[in-house]
Amino acid sequence: MGRIGTHLLAAVGLAAVVGVSPAGQQPTSERDIHRAAARAAAGQDHLGLLTTVCPEPAAGRSGAGGAAGAAGRGGTGAAGRGAGAAPPRSSPPRDQWHAEPVKVFDNLYWLGQTEYSAWAVTTSAGIIVIDTIFDYSVEDEVVEGMKKVGLDPANIKYVIVSHGHGDHSGGAKLLQDRFHAHVLMSAADWDLLDRSGGTKPTRDMVVTDGQKLTLGDTTLTMYITPGHTPGTISTIIPVKDNGQPHTVAEWGGTAFNFTITPDRDREYWFHTYIASALRFRALAKAAGADVVIANHTNFDGSKQKLPAMARRKAGDPNPWVVGTESVDRYMTVAVECSKAGLAELEGR
């Protein structure tokens, strides 16, 4: 997979003892207590998420929670101020971002770039695409990627855009125009796109909290989880691996891109993010989710799991099936790191 197989582990330093700070000191502030809890929850399997939303202060990032730099991963500006999609950009050379598609489950395919993920859920009545990466890469990765794994992009019926940033919404217009796919987004993030520049689809279907999307024999459930953006969508997806059922949880918005806003706005969005992360953790647990996916390859371990799928032999476990306890810990990292960011902002 080229750069998609690059490991993140060397960049991460974890405390050897649960509850002890990286410097070996007992945490004395509320911020450090939450950071220690996040490190403990991350274990060795959620290091990408940890370094995104809870990087060590020594990493040189600024802003509450040390994550202000994360805005560049998913668009610019504040969730609550409607900065929206990433600014228009020229197409970078293909060899800097191209990755080959991978079949992950019987009915779930990864169609992303080295750093950004798009997913295709196949059903008995067509295909549901979740996130569409950039406008410059959707043709290569999604349309042509489907053909490489034996799927017909003409069968795309629905496109769920997790949130209104250009690295996830930019390709939706092509899929809408060429294949007449319905594009789904929350009302708040349709509004976010309206206020933004760049390539964007025509306003189409509006997702409401807890809405089910049924296509053929498959039903996805979408939840509005504001925080990363005002109307981020997180989704529960049923899948099968060699006929065995599993449940996927996709946390739709991850980085704290609101840390560049005035302090009062940041406090509001941290509270909002915390409430959404707590809620989706409970929803994933109730659904029995034993798989976690994300829309950036460094958030969910895709950079290790995708190459592992290529090496998988008959009878080997699926690297994406991590178990309900691991999914719960993944969401706990998001909860604890957002609490740490809020505590840092408030000087606690």
Q: Are strands 182-186 and 205-207 parallel, antiparallel or unpaired?
A: parallel
Q: Look at residue 177 and tell me whether its pLDDT is greater than 80.
A: yes
Q: Look at residue 141 and tell me whether its pLDDT is greater than 70.
A: yes
Contact 252, 225 (CB under 8 A): yes
Q: Which domains does the chain have, with CATH numbers?
A: 2-345 (3.60.15.10)
pLDDT digits (tens, 9 = 90+) for 205-219: 999 999 999 999 999
Higher pLDDT, 12 or 151: 151
Note the pTM of the prediction, 2 decimals: 0.86
Q: What is the SS3 assignment for 309? A: helix
Q: Output the pLDDT for position 261.
A: 67
**CB-based burial of residue 152 (10 Å sphere; 0-12 exposed, 13-18 middle, 19+ buried)?**
exposed
The tokens for 90 are 């020229």
What is the mean pLDDT of the segment spanning 151-159? 98
pLDDT classification of 59: cutoffs 50, 70, 90: very low
pLDDT digits (tens, 9 = 90+) for 248-285: 999 999 999 886 667 779 999 999 999 999 999 999 99
Contact 181, 158 (CB under 8 A): yes
Contact 46, 319 (CB under 8 A): no
Q: Output the pLDDT for position 91.
A: 87
**What is the number of helices (H) and of strands (E) in the chain?**
11, 12
Radius of gyration for the alpha carbons in the chain, expressed in angstroms and rounded:
19
pLDDT classification of 90: cutoffs 50, 70, 90: confident
Nearest residue to 160 via CA among 138, 186, 190, 130: 130
What is the distance between the alpha carbons of residues 121 and 129, in angstroms, rounded to a whole number?
6
What is the mean pLDDT of the segment spanning 61-85? 41
Helices 30-42 & 324-345 angle (0-180, nearest 10): 160
pLDDT digits (tens, 9 = 90+) for 98-111: 999 999 999 999 99
Q: Look at residue 5 and tell me whether its pLDDT is greater than 60.
A: no
What is the mean pLDDT of the segment spanning 170-180? 98
